[in-house]
Amino acid sequence: MNRMRRLAVVVASAAMTVGGLAALPAAAQPTAAAAQPGAVRHASGPAGPVSNTFGRYKVIVQTGDETWAGTNATIKIKVYGFAATSPGYVNMDNDFDNFEPGVTDIFGPFTNWPDLGGVDFIGVDKFADGSDWQLDHVSIQDTLRNVQYECVVPTKADGYFPDGAATIWFDCP
């Protein structure tokens, strides 16, 4: 904005303050981007990337309720967002005996995941170090934007992981 233009804006603002007559012409109204180029957005709104050095995403895993459905195998999940992915396949483990029949395990919130920009799909990677496993459902929770993405396991067969290693992908519409 050159000096003349800035002066014109100041004059218009003064006129508005004094007379309350007219709004600024649209061209003279600075947009947020123009006012603060490169400014970092904060957690107040859903638009734009948000830095994430704190825990933000949770992964909620529901194991099937059949008596044989549980496993002690290593399970890693990669979350594919529209803007970024989780940092590789992330180990899903906490202090509990995870992936037991009928149990819902909540992992995270994970730190240092990028802003995923909405969840597209996930990859679930079961290692061969445990028995077979029936996955019922996975949810990805964005605790910052208060959104939960439901990853669909269309049928029991789709969520069945055999004794050996297997990776299966699920949509999270």
Instruction: Report in angstroms how near the CB of residue 141 gets to Ca ion at its nearest.
Output: 19
Q: With respect to Ca ion, which residue has the nearer C-beta, 52 or 71?
A: 71
Instruction: Report in angstroms how near the CB of residue 56 gets to Ca ion at its nearest.
Output: 22
Using the rule CB under 5 A, which residue among 93, 129, 158, 163 binds Ca ion?
93
How many whole angstroms separate alpha carbon 142 and alpha carbon 135?
21
**The residue type at 44:** S
63 counts as binding Ca ion under rule CB under 5 A = no
Phi and psi (nearest 5°) for 2? -80, 175
72 counts as binding Ca ion under rule CB under 5 A = yes
Using the rule CB under 5 A, which residue among 62, 63, 86, 98 binds Ca ion?
98
* Closest to 57 measured CA to CA, from 95, 113, 98, 104: 113
Non-local (6+) Cβ contacts of 142 within 8 A are 56, 57, 116, 119, 148, 149
Q: With respect to Ca ion, which residue has the nearer C-beta, 131 or 139?
A: 131
65 counts as binding Ca ion under rule CB under 5 A = no
Provide the greatest CA pair distance for the chain.
78
Instruction: Report in angstroms how near the CB of residue 93 gets to Ca ion at its nearest.
Output: 4
- In angstroms, the Cα distances linking 124 to 19, 71, 73, 99, 173 are 64, 14, 12, 13, 16
99 counts as binding Ca ion under rule CB under 5 A = yes
DSSP letter at 137 equals E
Using the rule CB under 5 A, which residue among 66, 97, 129, 163 binds Ca ion?
97
66 counts as binding Ca ion under rule CB under 5 A = no
Under the rule (CB under 5 A), what is the footprint of Ca ion?
72, 93, 97-99
